[in-house]
């Protein structure tokens, strides 16, 4: 028990150190642009269809669950408001984060884990190639960009899905549904002159992208012991990323909406 | 031939620490310059002692072959030289640098003058041959792409692998991967090169060609080499001097011909029928 506590503390310490180390390499962004584009394709473009499918059904479920209750109260015209706010504030960033943790995060941990157990990371060190600059920076930047972009898609398709259910099953006019959805997202924030629910959700997903990248890179770089070690690193990356997404989501919500 | 003797006649031990690579006091034994020195180096993993007060020297320009049963610390020895591991006790010096106290900057600079051929070649699997071999130059120099490509082609010719620039590591045979790994290790024109079981997993014909390549590289580039091998054929082709390690200690060492002619019981047992 105590051992596992100290192991967790060590991992957290390494992740924190890796994060600051990576941020210190931000001046290399231009040099790494090709690798960032590659990672954006692997981590972002290749999961678009998953995000669209999950986002669509999430929006449909939200509309159905809230719609059935609101219909009892005669408030069906509020479905658009509820779906839009739920998707923008919570569901969009959360769903996208979980999907990226399970796809890009696990792939990232497996890739770096395989490099670790096959001496490729040691080879980079021997060749005086900075592993953080060469491996971690492009992956972190790509996920930090991909996560908010995918969240926008998830939000949009979720609202569309909710509209389909509202129209087909709850007899709400599509025009009314989308009007209430758009109105719900027009509340300007105090920080920047953009709809607060939109930028709050995007800020969350930006943080989730960074967390997934750092946790997965850290797990992969510490993989030892062949295929078994790579499997453990991958499992650890997905598990820890999901925990980090949920915990950080609470604190970000508290920070952004406490007033 | 006696192992574990105190060979030192003059060392850099008493010299104050310096930061630059060139102003270090050179370590000599007689008229021979010592490039690598292990001074009572110990290393353990958990309860297993891998290196046990190991004393070892490698002289400039020679090719030293490390032999010994599996798990006797040969690869661990090389990893201490390149700075991938640190000794629990004792001292490792490489070209005058104490590897326990060397700064990150000096270590990176030192590594630019060293090459390391990993047992499984350790090519970056998502880079093609050109990008793998060019990697150290792209990352650490300001050379133009044209100059880098010229050097890459030159090194690939040196290892007898022209025209495979676009191939991925997964498309290469074991022997080709070793050669590409060697080309990458040589791309910075190192003064010292470390080979971790260059013959592992290769058939006798390819293995012989790798041995010949190691000898050619040494002859053409005049570099110091340390080779881990289990094969007498490798010793016969490349070695100037041979060391037999067991349980983290040197049990026998000497010039190649004297070593192979030795009737030391441990050597006889280790080589079995393969002595000739």
Nearest chain A residue to B107 by CA: give it.
A128
> Is residue B25 very low, low, confident or very high in pLDDT (cuts 50, 70, 90)?
low
pLDDT given at position B18: 40
pTM metric for this prediction: 0.85
Q: Which residue has the higher pLDDT, A166 or B162?
A: A166
Residue A34 sits at the chain B interface (C-beta within 8 Å): no
Q: Look-up: residue for tokens 């769903």? A: A95
Contacts (Cβ under 8 Å, ≥6 apart) of A119: B118, B119, B120, B122
Which residue stretches of chain A have pLDDT < 70? 189-191, 259
Residue A24 sits at the chain B interface (C-beta within 8 Å): no
Residue B1 sits at the chain A interface (C-beta within 8 Å): no
Q: Do B84 and A125 touch (CB under 8 A)?
A: yes
Helix-then-strand count for chain B, H and E = 9, 11
Residues of B in contact with A122 (CB under 8 A): 84, 118, 122
The pLDDT tens digits for A95-144 are: 999 999 999 999 999 999 999 999 999 999 999 999 999 999 999 999 99
Q: Look-up: residue for tokens 């005049």? A: B222
CA dihedral A31, A36, A38, A41 (to 10 degrees): -160
pLDDT given at position B199: 86
Single out the residue of B43, B80, B78 nearest to residue B64, CA to CA: B78
Dist. CA A145–CA A150, nearest whole Å: 9
Residue B123 sits at the chain A interface (C-beta within 8 Å): yes
pLDDT given at position B21: 44
Residue B132 in this model has a pLDDT that exceeds 60: yes
Which helix (DSSP H) or strand (DSSP E) does residue B4 occupy? none
> Is residue B15 very low, low, confident or very high in pLDDT (cuts 50, 70, 90)?
very low
> Is residue B8 very low, low, confident or very high in pLDDT (cuts 50, 70, 90)?
very low
The pLDDT tens digits for B43-56 are: 999 889 999 999 99
Average pLDDT for B226-246? 92
Q: Do B139 and A134 touch (CB under 8 A)?
A: yes
Residue A41 sits at the chain B interface (C-beta within 8 Å): no
Cβ atoms within 10 A of the Cβ of B104, count?
8
Percentage of chain B exceeding pLDDT 70:
89
pLDDT given at position B206: 83
Half-sphere exposure of B217 (CA within 13 A, CB side): 36
Interface test with A, best of B139, B197, B201 (most A CBs within 10 A): B139
pLDDT given at position B19: 41
Q: Do B112 and A130 touch (CB under 8 A)?
A: no
Residues of B in contact with A107 (CB under 8 A): none
Residue A205 sits at the chain B interface (C-beta within 8 Å): no
Q: Do B84 and A126 touch (CB under 8 A)?
A: yes
Q: Do B136 and A128 touch (CB under 8 A)?
A: yes
Average pLDDT for B176-185? 92
DSSP B73: S
Which of B 61-120 lie inside 8 A of A, CB atoms?
82, 84, 108, 111-112, 114, 116, 118-120
Which of B 181-240 lie inside 8 A of A, CB atoms?
184
SS3 category, B241: strand
Alpha carbon distances (Å) from A242 to A24, B120, B257: 26, 35, 62
Average pLDDT for B113-142? 93
> Is residue B185 very low, low, confident or very high in pLDDT (cuts 50, 70, 90)?
very high
Single out the residue of B108, B93, B72 nearest to residue B10, CA to CA: B93
Q: Where are the alpha helices (DSSP H) in chain A?
A: 2-24, 33-43, 48-72, 79-86, 92-100, 106-117, 120-126, 131, 137-169, 174-184, 196-221, 226-257
A106-117 vs A196-221: helix crossing angle, rounded to 10: 20
Q: How far is CA A234 from the centre of its chain?
A: 17
Residues of B in contact with A127 (CB under 8 A): 111, 135-136, 139, 184
Distance (Å) from the alpha carbon of B255 to chain A's nearest alpha carbon? 29
Residues of B in contact with A129 (CB under 8 A): 135-136, 139-140
The pLDDT tens digits for B239-264 are: 999 999 998 899 999 999 999 988 88
The mean-pLDDT minimum among A7-16, B17-26, B211-220 falls in B17-26
Dist. CA A237–CA A108, nearest whole Å: 9
Average pLDDT for B199-214? 85
């Amino acid at each position: 028990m105590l051992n596992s506590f100290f192991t967790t503390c060590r991992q957290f310490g390494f992740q924190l150190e890796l994060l600051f180390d990576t941020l210190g390499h931000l001046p290399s962004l231009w040099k790494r642009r090709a690798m960032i584009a590659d990672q954006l394709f692997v981590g972002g473009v290749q999961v678009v269809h998953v995000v669209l499918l999950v986002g669509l059904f999430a929006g449909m479920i939200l509309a159905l669950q809230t719609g059935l209750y609101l219909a009892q109260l005669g408030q069906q015209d509020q479905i658009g408001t509820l779906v839009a706010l739920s998707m923008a504030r919570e569901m969009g960033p959360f769903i996208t984060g979980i999907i990226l943790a399970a796809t890009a995060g696990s792939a990232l941990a497996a890739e770096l884990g395989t490099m670790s157990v096959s001496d490729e990371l040691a080879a980079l060190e021997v060749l005086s190639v900075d592993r953080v600059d060469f491996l971690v920076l492009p992956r972190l930047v790509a996920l930090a960009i991909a996560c908010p972009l995918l969240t926008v898609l998830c939000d949009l398709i979720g609202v569309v899905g909710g509209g389909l259910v509202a129209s087909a099953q709850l007899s709400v006019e599509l025009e009314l549904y989308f009007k209430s959805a758009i109105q719900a997202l027009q509340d300007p924030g105090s920080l920047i002159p953009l709809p607060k629910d939109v930028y709050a959700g995007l800020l969350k997903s930006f943080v989730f992208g960074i967390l997934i990248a750092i946790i997965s890179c850290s797990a992969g770089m510490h993989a030892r012991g062949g295929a078994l070690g790579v499997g453990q690193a991958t499992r650890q990356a997905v598990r820890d990323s999901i925990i980090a997404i949920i915990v950080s989501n609470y604190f970000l919500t508290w920070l952004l909406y406490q007033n | 031939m006696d192992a574990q003797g105190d060979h030192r006649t003059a060392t850099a031990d008493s010299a104050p620490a310096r930061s630059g690579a060139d102003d270090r006091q050179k370590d000599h034994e007689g008229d021979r310059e010592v490039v690598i020195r292990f001074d009572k180096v110990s290393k353990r993993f958990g309860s297993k002692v891998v290196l046990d007060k190991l004393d070892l020297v490698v002289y400039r320009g020679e090719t030293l072959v490390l032999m010994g049963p599996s798990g006797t610390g040969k690869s661990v020895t090389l990893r201490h030289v390149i700075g991938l591991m640190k000794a629990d006790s004792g001292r490792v010096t490489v070209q005058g640098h104490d590897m326990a106290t060397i700064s990150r900057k000096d270590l990176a600079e030192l590594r630019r003058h060293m090459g390391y051929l990993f047992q499984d070649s350790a090519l970056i699997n998502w880079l093609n041959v050109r990008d793998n071999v060019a990697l150290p130059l792209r990352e650490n120099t300001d050379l133009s792409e044209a100059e880098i490509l010229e050097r890459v082609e030159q090194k690939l010719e040196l290892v007898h692998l022209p025209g495979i620039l676009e191939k991925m590591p997964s498309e290469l045979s074991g022997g080709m991967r070793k050669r590409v790994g060697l080309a990458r290790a040589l791309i910075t024109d190192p003064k010292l090169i470390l080979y971790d079981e260059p013959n592992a997993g290769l058939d006798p014909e390819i293995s012989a060609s790798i041995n010949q390549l190691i000898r050619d590289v040494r002859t053409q580039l005049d570099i110091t080499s340390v080779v881990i091998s289990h094969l007498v054929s490798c010793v016969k082709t490349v070695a100037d001097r041979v060391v037999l390690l067991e349980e983290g200690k040197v049990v026998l060492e000497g010039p190649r011909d004297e070593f192979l002619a030795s009737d030391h019981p441990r050597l006889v047992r280790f080589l079995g029928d393969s002595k000739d």
